Amino acid sequence: MRYIISLLVLVLFCSCSSKQQDDYVPVPYTLNMPPIFEQKLAPPFIPSDNPLTAEGVALGKKLFFDPILSGTRTQACAHCHRPQDGFSHAFQFSEGANGDLGTRNSMPLFNNAWNYNELFTWDGKEFRLENQAFEPVTNSIEMNGNWTTIEQLLNTHDDYPELFRKVFGNQRIDSTMVVKAIAQFQRILISGNSKFDRYLLGETTLTPQELNGFNVFMAENKGDCFHCHGSDNNPLWTDNDFHNNGLDATFTDLGLGGVTGDPNDNGKFKTPTLRNLVFTSPYMHDGRFATLEEVIDFYSEGLQNSPTIDPLMKNVKQGGAQLSTSDKADLKAFLLTLTDFDFIRNPDFNK
């Protein structure tokens, strides 16, 4: 009888241990919200089916920097979204795992939790951050991976099974878990500590040139940039919407129109944030402008008319806003105040 009781106790203990292992509870992760975001912006979007956890974020970071997701095992997400480039890429087009070049410039990745419409990429073809991460992994001119192979590699890896278990429980690792973890990491990439942020918080001052540049940015009869690119009250510096900003009279890349099939959407691309422009050159969806001076000249004198040009590009008839040389210089000085060096240096965001 004593033996039977001992056996029962042992079975119960083993059962409890096993259950404890199954029921690992990941630690909730709290976003490090910039004060100016808390003051000015609606709360970030964190989907209920993929809450942030410390383990999920850490796993997402490891995957983001791991070439295991590419077909050649040579290219990670971070290859085209480099931390030092504001999680974009310094080249106009990025080289994929097989050496092929893409056709669009790599988008910067930060403050994505505040992309309220949840439409990602230049043409908005991906709804939700989780879905966005699926595409480049298998795209033949990007990472050219194969999810079946990747899942096998992850399931037989020395480290990953335990890391995934802590986030998703005892399940076979699949692609959905991979993109969920990567999305968690992407949602913590927050940039909100630029000189202009500190100015808004009353912690520093701007030079007269920077202040005038801000006025040019906000003035309806000058830059009128604020309608699409945010303002002191929208510190995302993007409206997260899609516009034809007058780059071309005819389109080789339809942008949003290629996704919706609506000709009225042809030539529309997502408004990029103006934060961290120092790091995110070249500019525009196709990286056609290497410098900020080129961008400002374009908006001042280089607009091209087309049927879908945004009505906010109101001076297209005159070629643009016709800014003076000094206003152009001041505008650039202001834009540089949106640089967040802490974001680039943050060890939590780097490999």
- Binders in 228-247 for other proteins, by CB under 8 A: 228, 230-234, 236, 239
Q: What is the C-alpha to C-alpha distance for residues 142 and 35, in angstroms, rounded to an integer?
A: 37
Strands (E), the chain: 119-120, 126-127, 242-243, 269-270
Considering only 227, 253, 319, 336, the residue that binds other proteins (CB under 8 A) is 227
**Interface size with other proteins, residues (CB under 8 A):** 35
Choice between 32 and 117, CB closer to other proteins:
117
| Residue 130 C-beta: closest distance to other proteins, Å | 21
Is 218 a binder of other proteins (CB under 8 A)?
A: yes
Beta carbon of residue 50, minimum distance to other proteins (angstroms, whole number): 21
Decide: is 317 part of the binding site for other proteins (CB under 8 A): yes
Question: Whose CA is closest to 280, among 163, 158, 110?
Answer: 110
The reply on whether position 145 binds other proteins by CB under 8 A is no
- The residue among 189 and 236 lying less far from other proteins, judged by its C-beta, is 236
**Does the footprint of other proteins cover residue 73 (CB under 8 A)?**
no
CB contact at 8 A, 293 and 332: yes
DSSP per-residue string spanning 139-196: -TTTT---HHHHHHHHHTSSSHHHHHHHHH-SS---HHHHHHHHHHHHHT-----SHH
Q: Report helix angle 175-187 to 147-155, nearest 10.
A: 80
215 lies in the site for other proteins, by CB under 8 A:
yes
Q: Is 201 in the site for other proteins (CB under 8 A)?
A: no
Task: Pull the structure tokens for residue 162.
Answer: 């335990």
Of the candidates 25, 42, 49, 99, which one interacts with other proteins according to CB under 8 A? 42
Of the residues 68, 206, 219, 259, which one makes contact with other proteins according to CB under 8 A: 219
Calpha distance 210→202 (Å, rounded): 15
Q: Which residues bind other proteins (CB under 8 A)?
A: 39-42, 114, 116-117, 215, 218-221, 226-228, 230-234, 236, 239, 262, 264, 307-317
